Amino acid sequence: MFYGYLEEIKSKLEELGIFKSVEIGLEKGAGKSVNTPLARIVVSSVDYRGSLADLHLIIVVGLDLKNDIPELYRQFLDVTKNIRKKLYEIPALVQVEGLVTDEDRLENIKAGAIKVTLKGLPYEG
């Protein structure tokens, strides 16, 4: 139903040229683990409002484990900034928010996650 939007986001991420591959993870647990440098787009939730829907996504981004933590975090912020610029070309996109998934154990960071919200998508239920 919203696969076209997922494909558009995938295409935008591929245009950046920083990932070896970009995947759409539809199976259960798709957002759990990624390898470097890879991005996986996962649907987090969908809010339905009559004939419109808001699509909440998470883009899981593999990070370079060879870097130390401050450098790793800076690298993730740079990637988030580049992704944000590219994704804002999509008209329905209203929010791109970067976050690190494992803040309590910074020494174990293997991936970062970027929350993405597409609002007001046409929906026929």
Residue 98's pLDDT is 62
Residue 48's pLDDT is 92
User: Which residues are within 8 A (CB) of 76 and not within 5 positions of it... i.e. 6 or more apart?
Assistant: 61, 63, 98, 100, 112
pLDDT digits (tens, 9 = 90+) for 19-72: 788 888 866 555 555 556 678 888 888 999 888 888 888 888 776 555 555 666
* pLDDT for 7 beyond 80: yes
pLDDT digits (tens, 9 = 90+) for 57-112: 888 877 655 555 566 667 777 777 888 888 878 877 666 766 555 444 444 445 67
d(CA 125, CA 122): 10
Residue 83's pLDDT is 82
Q: Which residue has the higher pLDDT, 56 or 1?
A: 56
Question: Which domains are delineated in the chain?
Answer: 3-122 (3.30.2000)
Sheet holding 111-122, edge to edge: 21-24, 38-49, 52-62, 111-122, 93-100
Residue 106's pLDDT is 46
